[in-house]
A = this chain, B = another copy of it.
Amino acid sequence: MGGGGLGPFVNIPSLMITVGGSFSALLINFPMKRVLSVFGVVKKCFTQKLPAPTEIIEQFKEMSTVARKDGLLALETRVAEIPDEFMRRGMELVVGGSSKEEMQVILETEISYIDERHKIGKKVIDALGAAAPAFGMIGTLIGLVQMLRTLDDPSKIGGGMATALLTTLYGAVLANLFCIPLAGKLETRNKEEIMIRELMMTGLLALIEGQAPRAIQGRLSAFLSPTSRPSEETQTAA
């Protein structure tokens, strides 16, 4: 199990059986659009950086101070600078004079979108994680049958077996190195993002209500579970 390049481990037909078979099963199960949307969901899950809850609370305290002094319209200049799309859209509603009720309906729908998208993504990845080892085994069976049928030259058994086993290897790697951990990550990430979005929504509604910075902090702190306070956790875990 020492050296040797990746060469013997690359076989295009084997890859096609495992990956192609798994995706065929996925496309019978789910509409094409849903399967493709998973790539976007997974990519976003790794690239999109969520703002830290403590940072969001600070922002709301600051904005509340400004709003109470100069009115909600004084926040207008800041809106375009907000990097997070959800927060920016919410602030546009705030400075646009949206009512509390309108705002809540719009943002809750937005949050249910996010949840829905993650849940569908997880379901598709779970299905892929179950299909990949199965099609890996199917590929190995196909390879073994082919090899055994043409068993003229014993010296070729080794190579045939090796090729046949590749699909099982591909299926196991696809499931265990990608699908299972990704499904886990998507679930954790979903919880985090939903929490952040609800924190933002609560803050935005408090802004419209014109609450004082101190009151906003009190209300938003309820969202901070012990694990979201990294400094304290490290301290206690030590």
Residues of A bordering B, CB below 8 Å:
1-2, 4, 8-9, 11, 13-14, 17, 21, 24-26, 28-30, 33, 37, 40-41, 109-110, 112-113, 116-117, 120, 127, 130-131, 134-135, 137-139, 141-149, 151, 155, 157-159, 161-169, 172-173, 175-178, 180-182, 184-185, 188, 225-227, 230, 232-233, 236-238
Contacts and interface: CB of A to CB of B under 8 A. Distances in A.
B37 A137 contact: no
Nearest to A173: B138
B168 A141 contact: yes
Contact of A117 (B25, B109, B237): B237
Given A135-B176, A233-B113, A1 B158 contact: no
26 contacts: A1-B14, A1-B17, A1-B146, A1-B164, A1-B167, A9-B145, A21-B177, A28-B177, A28-B178, A28-B184, A28-B185, A29-B180, A29-B184, A30-B188, A37-B237, A40-B237, A41-B237, A112-B225, A117-B233, A130-B180, A137-B172, A142-B169, A145-B165, A148-B165, A149-B162, A151-B159
Contacts of A131: 176, 180
A213 to B, nearest CB: 22
Contacts of A117: 233, 236-237
Given A9-B142, A145-B166, 11 more contacts: A1-B13, A1-B143, A21-B176, A29-B182, A113-B236, A130-B180, A137-B172, A138-B176, A141-B165, A144-B161, A149-B162
Nearest to A226: B113
Copies in the complex: 5
A112 B229 CA distance: 13
A176 B146 contact: no
A133 B29 CA distance: 19
Contacts of A151: 155, 157-159
Nearest to A28: B181
B162 A145 contact: yes
A149 B8 contact: yes
Contacts of A158: 147-149, 151
A184 to B, nearest CB: 4
A237 B117 CA distance: 8
